[in-house]
């Protein structure tokens, strides 16, 4: 069985899923970033399907770049430039048969992540 990669983005400032946030997925190879996919979150703050589905998942380093600045543009109190713009989360995949879930809890001024289930 092959593993896969998912995410869930929660807008902690508004207390709801972050619908419509752009995410970019990269694979890090030899110190270089190779673009794999660009997607947008749905109304539940998730992507419509795995970011990296079974069969495309391999051990190595990956990075998801969350476009938080664009998502929060127009939010009251967000300056120009915003405090947070692009939020990169770089992580390693050791077990290509596992499910890796990389959620993001984000506001215009802070974020956190963890390995979810």
Summarize the annotated binding site for substrate as residue ranges.
Answer: 8, 46, 114
Report the alpha-carbon distance of residue 41 to residue 59 in Å, rounded. Answer: 25
The angle at the Cα of 98, spanning 96 to 101, to the nearest 5 degrees, equals 110
Report the alpha-carbon distance of residue 101 to residue 105 in Å, rounded. Answer: 13
Could you tell me which residues are annotated as the binding site?
8, 46, 114
């Amino acid at each position: 069985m092959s593993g896969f990669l998912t995410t869930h983005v929660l807008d902690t400032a508004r207390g709801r899923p972050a619908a419509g946030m752009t995410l970019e997925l990269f694979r890090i190879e030899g110190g270089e970033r190779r673009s794999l996919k660009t997607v947008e979150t749905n109304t539940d703050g998730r992507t419509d399907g795995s970011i990296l589905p079974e069969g495309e998942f391999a051990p190595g380093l990956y990075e998801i770049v969350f476009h938080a600045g664009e998502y929060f543009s127009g939010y009251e109190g967000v300056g120009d430039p915003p405090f947070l713009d692009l939020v990169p989360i770089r992580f390693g995949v050791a077990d290509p048969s596992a499910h890796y879930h990389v959620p993001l809890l984000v506001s215009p001024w802070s974020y956190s992540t963890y390995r979810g289930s």
